[in-house]
Every structure is written in structure tokens, then in C-alpha cells.
């Protein structure tokens, strides 16, 4: 369904060209002075420069062409040359009716099934999932959902950090604790046990212990490095331990991401890229793209237009070890082979910006990725505590994600129980749904690149720009609809009538932005634009609701029209929260 701005622009273009001006001037934007008009066209100013005429004369001539057009209630030329527009309420109501008849309420599937890889989550295996990984999961999930909604074939890949030093640390710590295990018997030649030598609880304790030890014990650290090296070169006993670590952690990670309602199509990791690396290095060398520099193998990536000097990308260290960038390049080769994506999106901390610039440039320079394939890094800022420093537990430790979620749910639970209208069990279930909304909306409503402050009390508030407020609005509409249906009335066949009051028109104007917002938010990879929009729509609904007694309305046609209208609001809000990655309860 055409966007309302485009429909208006279509008429405006005709008007400009019948006056002899280039129709390119007929651009329509939302008004930045809602007190004066709803939409505006500023093209007369630009046209005036080109034609050496007074902008107001051009605007007046264009406006004259549009008099009597049934799309508009008002089109006026104002100094110095603005064209101010108000829509006809009948036209707007018609747009609402068409919206509700469309499958996706007017959003078009512009993606056409094109494949887009979204790389997010990025948890490091065997290290507990902490708040640092929260943002990647929450933002990535939303981008994946937005793309699917627009008809792209989004492939979400968790891209686990499963090939690093943490593996060697765990192996050596395990050796210190249980030297009797067969994995450490160099003369052992039999099969390795099916059963893991640790539970997830033990694993979670082993890693931090090993990591702390490596900071004070140089010999231990060296052993861990050697173990990592041997693992990476296929040493069978360590591969067996690695498989145990993977199986045990993966089950736990899946549970944790599941609790966040975050999903992946692929559970691949850095280890999956390893088979591609020798060929990759060989190829870069053979084609003269990589060269030795201080013992390391590097690829130049600087471009003449760079504003600052970018260092070359190191693809092999002097000790022969592969690096983070090499893993990412290997992964790209695999993705090209298996998926042939039309675009890549990586959701990772913004401090990794240089890394991704290097990887993208090497991939393009070497032709592993076609020049017209888009590669983007969505770099996010830090989640801070109220002190403005990275969020920590009360005693200053790293906050486990599970703990964070439990804290939020408890706080929401007590808020719900304050009203005491529902059973404890229902309150617990509802608290989970509302808690997730609070957490995700609290994150997504900020521009991703910005740091934000995790403020539990604000996030769980039922008022203001919060997830619970949006849910509260949806629940309120559901309750009105339930009461309406309870009277035996049915609005299915009813049409949405032209607005009678200003608040009602406001609400329709807000609804009319829906398809545009969804497209723009995805194009800019900006879930916060969806948040902004559903907040605006919720406010418009709530003030409409405040001014109109929907259920007490005596004219049945008007009443049914309002029911259709608020159903549309509910459907748009629900589609909005769905792409953000959460849902609404029936009551709260």
C-alpha cells in the first residue's frame, strides 16, 4: 500500500508540473509545526532559487492548482513560500479502511525474499552470558524480526566465540583439578567418554577460576596458550574436552536466549570458520594481497578517501596463530558458499568498529563478497548503571543476565501485586511478559550507538516512554474490545468514519505513518524508530480515549467505527512490539 506521503506527493508533483516547475520540488514532509498544518512542502523555496522568482509566488500558483482536490481540507501558501497541508478527513478515513483490509496493515514486502545474514548474540562459550551480550541479542533479534516482516529472508547466526583462549584455560584448570582424567594421559589410545567431566554449574565456576589464575600465574597462562594451540591443531583429547564444553554450554545458552525470546537460525561459531582459513591465507598470499610485516601477515585496507589512517588488517600473527579478523573472513567465505547473502549485518559493540571496517574491506578487496553487497556493522554503546559506569552488580561484579532478568521480574511482580486484582500465579506469568518488555524497550528505545543508563524503576514504570506503558495501552484496548463484544455487538463489517474531533484525526494521522515507519526503521537498522512511533501512537490513543466515551456512544455506526479504529491501533501496536521482540499479556 502506498505511503501517505507518496500519495500526497503524487498530487503535488502534478501541481508543480502544470505550473511549469520540475516535479522534483514536490517533496512532502511531516509538518514540524503541527499547530499550523499536518504536512508541508518546502519545494517552492528551492524552485525559486533555480527560476529566480519569489518563492511565495510559486507556492501560490501551485496551491491554486490544488484547490478543490478532495484529498485536502486545506492547502495554503505562507511566507516565505511554504505550502501547508491538512488532509481531508474523508480521505484519511478511507486510508484507514484500506489499511485494515490489508494483510500487513499496509506494509509492503519489499524484501522480495532476498537473503540477509544478521550476526548477533556473539556469546563466548563457557563464559557466563552477561549484560554485555544483552544488547547484541536484543538489537539483533529486533533487526531480524523487522527484516522478516518486510519480506527479507533473514538468517540469524549467533556466531559464538568458541575457539579462543578460554578453551585452553578450562582444559588446564581441569587438568589441575583432575589430573587422573583420560584426556591428560598422553599414552591413552581408547575412546573418550560420552559423559562430560563437568556440569554447567561446575563449568561456570571453572572458567572464572582459571581466568583469575592466569592473571597471577604466568606458567599457567603459558600452559593454557599451549593447550589452545594444540586444540586448534586438532589434538584429539582436547577436541574431546572441547566437544563436552560445547554441548554443556550450548544447552545453557539456548535456555538463556530462549528466556529472552531471542532466536537464531544458525548456531555457528568461530570454530566453523577454521576449515576455510588455510585456503584463505594461501589465496591472499598467492594474489599478492597479503604481505609480511614484522613477522605477521597483513592486508592493506587504507583508501585515499579515509579521513584518518587505518592500520592494515592482520590475518596471521607472527607465531602463526589466526585472529578474530581471520575467523570473520573465514565465516564470510562459508556464508557466501552456503547462503549468498545480499547483505550482512553485524550487531556488536561499537568499540569493534575498526575490526569490522578491516574485515569488510578485505572481503571486498579480495572479491570474496560482491561490490554491491551491503556490509554493515551496527555498533552499540554500553549499558551503564546509575553511576554512569558500565553496569555492575551491587558488589561490583559482572552482572549475570539471569540475575538481571530475575531482578526485573521481581520488581514488576511486586508492582502488579500492589493492585492485587489477579492471582499470584497469573501475576508471576504477567510479570515475565511485562519484565521482558521493560528490559527490551528500555534498551531499544535508545539509539543503538549511544550508551544508556539501566534504570530499573523507570523501565518498569507503567507511565512514560516505557515498554510497560505500551503494553498497558494494548491491554486497555483489549479490555474495551472485550466489553464491546460482551454486549453482543459486532463491528467486523463496519467502516471507519471520518474523524469528528481533533484527537480522533490525530490518531488517524499517526496510524497513517505506520508503513513508512516500518520501512525506514529497517532501512536505517534503527529499532528505536519503531519505539518512538508506538509511543507516539499510544499517546494519541490515550488522549483520544480520554476525550471520547467509546462504549457509551449512542450512535451505533459511530461506535462501531471507533471499535474498528482502536482495533487498528491495537494491531499496529502489536505488530510494533512483535518486531521489537516482545508481546502483550491479556491483562495487567
Told to check if 172 binds ligand ARG by CB under 6 A, we report: no
Backbone angles phi, psi at 158, to 5 degrees: -70, -20
Q: Which of 109, 132, 214 is nearest to 171 (CA)?
A: 214
Do β-strands 82-87 and 374-380 pair in parallel, antiparallel, or remain unpaired? unpaired
Encode 9-20: b = buried (16+ Cβ within 10 Å), e = exposed. bebbbbbbbebe
By beta-carbon proximity to ligand ARG, the closer residue of 161 and 503 is 161
By beta-carbon proximity to ligand ARG, the closer residue of 161 and 442 is 161
Q: Whole-number minimum distance, CB 352 to ligand ARG, in Å?
A: 7
What is the per-residue binding string for ligand ARG in 96-125, x denoting contact by CB under 6 A? -----------------------x--x-x-
By beta-carbon proximity to ligand ARG, the closer residue of 327 and 491 is 327
Told to check if 161 binds ligand ARG by CB under 6 A, we report: yes
CB contact at 8 A, 497 and 100: no
Strands across the sheet containing 115-119: 153-157, 115-119, 343-349, 374-380
CB contact at 8 A, 287 and 279: no
Q: Which of 580, 460, 448 is nearest to 517 (CA)?
A: 580
Q: Whole-number minimum distance, CB 128 to ligand ARG, in Å?
A: 12
Told to check if 159 binds ligand ARG by CB under 6 A, we report: yes
Told to check if 162 binds ligand ARG by CB under 6 A, we report: no
> How many C-beta atoms surround the C-beta of residue 38 within 10 A?
22
Give how far the C-alpha of residue 256 lies from the chain's centroid of Cα atoms, to the nearest Å.
18
By beta-carbon proximity to ligand ARG, the closer residue of 256 and 409 is 256
Told to check if 325 binds ligand ARG by CB under 6 A, we report: no
Q: How many residues bind ligand ARG (CB under 6 A)?
A: 8
In sequence order, the 6+-apart residues with CB closer than 8 A to the CB of 324 are: 270, 355
By beta-carbon proximity to ligand ARG, the closer residue of 124 and 491 is 124
Q: Which of 348, 362, 470, 572 binds ligand ARG (CB under 6 A)?
A: 348
Cα–Cα distance, 328 to 331 (Å, whole number):
5
By beta-carbon proximity to ligand ARG, the closer residue of 130 and 221 is 130
Q: Whole-number minimum distance, CB 328 to ligand ARG, in Å?
A: 5
Q: Whole-number minimum distance, CB 399 to ligand ARG, in Å?
A: 16
Q: Whole-number minimum distance, CB 161 to ligand ARG, in Å?
A: 3
By beta-carbon proximity to ligand ARG, the closer residue of 133 and 529 is 133
Cα–Cα distance, 170 to 210 (Å, whole number):
6
By beta-carbon proximity to ligand ARG, the closer residue of 158 and 433 is 158
Q: Which grid coordinates are listed for 348?
A: 556488536
Backbone angles phi, psi at 394, to 5 degrees: -60, -35
Told to check if 272 binds ligand ARG by CB under 6 A, we report: no
Helix (H, G, I), strand (E, B) or coil at 82: strand
Cα–Cα distance, 361 to 346 (Å, whole number):
14
Q: Whole-number minimum distance, CB 331 to ligand ARG, in Å?
A: 6
CB contact at 8 A, 411 and 403: no
Told to check if 173 binds ligand ARG by CB under 6 A, we report: no
Told to check if 328 binds ligand ARG by CB under 6 A, we report: yes
Q: Which of 82, 152, 183, 346 binds ligand ARG (CB under 6 A)?
A: 346
By beta-carbon proximity to ligand ARG, the closer residue of 159 and 440 is 159
Which residues here bind ligand ARG, judged by CB under 6 A?
119, 122, 124, 159, 161, 328, 346, 348
Amino acid at each position: 500500500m502506498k505511503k501517505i506521503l507518496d500519495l500526497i506527493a503524487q498530487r503535488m508533483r502534478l501541481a508543480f508540473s502544470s505550473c511549469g516547475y520540475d516535479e522534483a520540488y514536490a517533496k512532502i514532509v511531516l509538518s514540524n509545526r503541527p499547530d499550523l498544518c499536518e504536512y508541508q512542502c518546502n519545494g517552492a523555496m528551492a524552485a525559486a532559487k533555480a527560476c529566480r522568482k519569489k518563492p511565495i509566488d510559486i507556492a501560490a500558483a501551485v496551491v491554486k492548482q490544488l484547490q478543490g482536490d478532495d484529498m485536502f481540507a486545506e492547502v495554503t501558501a505562507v511566507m516565505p513560500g511554504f505550502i501547508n497541508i491538512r488532509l481531508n478527513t474523508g480521505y484519511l478515513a478511507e486510508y484507514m479502511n484500506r489499511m485494515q483490509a490489508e494483510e500487513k496493515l499496509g506494509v509492503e514486502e519489499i524484501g522480495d525474499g532476498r537473503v540477509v545474514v544478521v550476526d548477533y548474540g556473539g556469546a563466548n562459550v563457557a563464559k557466563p552470558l552477561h549484560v554485555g551480550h544483552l544488547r547484541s541479542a536484543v538489537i539483533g533479534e529486533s533487526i531480524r524480526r523487522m527484516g522478516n516482516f518486510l519480506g527479507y529472508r533473514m538468517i540469524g547466526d549467533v556466531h559464538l566465540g568458541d575457539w579462543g583462549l578460554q578453551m585452553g584455560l578450562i582444559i588446564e584448570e581441569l587438568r589441575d583439578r583432575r589430573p587422573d582424567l583420560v584426556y591428560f594421559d598422553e599414552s591413552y589410545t581408547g575412546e573418550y567418554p560420552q559423559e562430560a567431566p563437568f556440569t554447567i554449574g561446575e563449568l561456570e565456576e571453572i572458567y572464572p577460576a582459571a581466568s583469575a589464575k592466569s592473571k597471577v600465574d604466568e606458567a599457567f597462562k603459558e600452559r593454557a596458550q599451549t593447550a589452545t594451540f594444540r586444540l586448534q591443531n586438532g589434538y584429539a583429547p582436547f577436541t574431546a574436552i572441547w566437544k563436552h564444553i560445547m554441548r554443556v554450554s550450548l544447552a545453557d545458552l539456548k535456555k538463556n536466549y530462549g528466556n529472552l525470546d531471542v532466536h537464531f537460525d544458525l548456531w555457528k561459531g568461530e570454530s566453523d570458520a577454521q576449515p576455510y582459513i588455510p585456503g584463505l591465507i594461501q589465496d591472499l598470499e598467492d594474489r599478492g594481497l597479503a604481505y609480511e610485516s614484522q613477522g605477521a601477515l597483513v592486508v592493506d585496507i587504507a583508501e585515499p578517501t579515509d579521513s584518518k589512517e587505518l592500520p592494515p588488517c592482520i590475518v596471521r600473527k607472527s607465531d602463526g596463530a589466526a585472529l578474530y579478523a581471520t575467523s570473520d573472513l573465514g565465516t564470510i567465505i562459508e556464508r557466501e558458499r552456503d547462503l549468498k547473502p545480499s547483505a550482512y549485518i553485524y550487531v556488536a559493540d561499537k568499540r569493534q568498529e575498526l575490526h569490522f571496517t578491516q574485515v569488510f574491506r578485505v572481503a571486498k578487496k579480495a572479491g570474496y563478497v560482491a561490490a554491491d553487497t551491503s556490509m554493515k556493522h551496527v555498533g552499540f554503546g554500553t549499558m551503564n548503571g546509575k553511576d554512569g559506569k558500565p553496569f555492575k552488580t551491587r558488589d561490583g561484579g559482572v552482572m549475570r543476565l539471569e540475575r538481571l532478568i530475575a531482578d526485573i521480574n521481581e520488581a514488576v511482580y511486586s508492582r502488579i501485586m500492589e493492585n492485587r486484582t489477579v492471582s499470584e500465579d497469573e501475576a508471576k506469568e504477567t510479570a515475565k511478559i511485562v519484565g521482558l518488555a521493560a528490559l527490551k524497550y528500555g534498551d531499544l528505545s535508545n539509539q543503538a550507538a549511544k550508551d544508556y543508563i539501566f534504570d530499573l524503576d523507570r523501565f518498569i514504570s507503567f507511565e512514560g516512554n516505557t515498554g510497560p506503558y505500551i503494553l498497558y495501552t494494548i491491554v486497555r484496548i483489549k479490555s474495551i474490545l472485550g466489553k464491546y463484544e460482551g454486549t453482543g455487538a459486532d463491528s467486523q463489517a463496519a467502516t471507519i468514519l471520518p474523524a469528528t474531533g481533533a484527537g480522533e484525526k490525530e490518531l488517524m494521522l499517526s496510524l497513517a505513518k505506520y508503513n513508512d515507519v516500518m520501512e525506514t526503521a529497517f532501512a536505517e537498522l534503527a529499532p528505536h524508530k519503531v519505539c518512538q512511533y508506538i509511543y507516539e501512537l499510544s499517546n494519541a490513543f490515550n488522549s483520544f480515549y480520554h476525550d471520547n466515551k467509546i462504549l457509551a456512544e449512542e450512535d451505533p455506526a459511530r461506535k462501531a467505527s471507533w471499535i474498528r479504529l482502536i482495533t487498528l491501533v491495537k494491531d499496529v501496536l502489536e505488530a510494533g512490539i512483535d518486531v521489537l521482540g516482545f508481546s502483550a499479556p491479556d491483562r495487567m
